Structure 1
């Protein structure tokens, strides 16, 4: 089950995102679960200790810290390299920093676009995450990985010849 995390300091918006995410998961019957919805970056960070992956919806500005969400995303990316990160923010000017820090977000949603657009984009990001996970599972299932000395090699199973004993 893929855990979903929300970091948003506005309680009304956090509640709205929670509702959108839970409804999408329920309607589409995705193997996902909302793990944490909080306004505290440390609570979210502590909750991912046992995770290997996740979908994160992060606000950039938390309280008086204009880059709290960006700093959290940096930590998440280091701990969970294949996590999907979506920023929902009013800070369009910080989008370049996500590239500079190599966070590679799945999406960057601007709150000014309106609640309907934000809802549509959250739903699309959930679907995109599921599609990415399906694709990765299919690719990794059909790839043989091996190591010779200090070098790693990967080859599709279709290109491997082997004999049964």
Structure 2
């Protein structure tokens, strides 16, 4: 289900926007739901901290609190990198702030265009729902981690293996076309997906991307030719994956 979040401090406008969204979901029988409709940004952040979700967010830019709607959008991105964010405001000149805060917005709706707001909201719902269903049917699963102030997303299918870095508490992720170094614990990776197997004290391999295993040398050749290693202790768990 695609979850919808609305943050608007004007009660009348919030009720109207929530009604637009709820009515359209019901009429079109979409797999969507308004989870939170609130005047307070913390309600949305608290929810995201406790739930793993991909959502559609309608955010008032001019919230009557210290945090603006655009700052809220930037904070949402820390928890939901794939979500669709729509800003609603009476100040279209503030659109430049979405670039300052590095928030990728689906749309920017101006409140004074009263006859157009409902149509623009519906267009955003249609677009977000179409993308959600595409991703759902493609069964895309993303591994996400932070590098500095950036969130890096890599499809699980593209991951070859992980290895411990020479830098303390860091892990190197080897994908088909890139390497990413991040802070983490190697032992936690196999719990994330059953494709990941701890094959060595310093390596976790994606079993789906193994091309061959040399038992004598304890080498695992990946589908792109890269090599990672297995220890005798963990090798038995790989013997039946591919022909030796």
Class of the TM-score when normalised by the shorter of the 2 chains:
0.7 to 0.9
Q: Please show how residues 10-159 of structure 1 align to structure 2 within 5 Å.
A: 10-49=10-49, 50-63=51-64, 65=66, 68-114=68-114, 116-140=115-139, 144-148=157-161, 150=172, 151-153=174-176
Q: Structure 2 length normalisation: TM-score?
A: 0.58
Q: CA RMSD in A?
A: 2.5
Note the alpha carbon deviations across 1:30-61, whole angstroms, 9 max, x for none: 11110111111112211222132111000001
| Stretches of structure 2 lacking an aligned partner (at least 5 in a row) | 141-154, 164-171, 178-210, 212-222, 224-241
Q: Distance in 2 between matches of 1:89 and 1:3?
A: 22
1:82 is paired with a residue whose SS is coil
Q: 1:69 Cα shift?
A: 0.7
1:112 is paired with a residue whose SS is coil
Greater RCO (Cα-Cα under 8 Å, separation 6 or more)? 1
Choose 1 or 2 for highest CA Rg. Answer: 2
Q: 1:145 Cα shift?
A: 2.2
Q: 1:91 Cα shift?
A: 1.6
Note the alpha carbon deviations across 1:110-149, whole angstroms, 9 max, x for none: 11111x20000000100000111123334455x8423146
Q: Distance in 1 between matches of 2:21 and 2:32?
A: 10
Q: Relative to total residues, which structure has the larger strand share, 1 or 2?
A: 2
Q: Distance in 2 between matches of 1:107 and 1:43?
A: 22
- Cross-structure match for 1:157: none
Q: Distance in 1 between matches of 2:27 and 2:52?
A: 24
Aligned residues: 157
Q: Relative to total residues, which structure has the larger helix share, 1 or 2?
A: 1
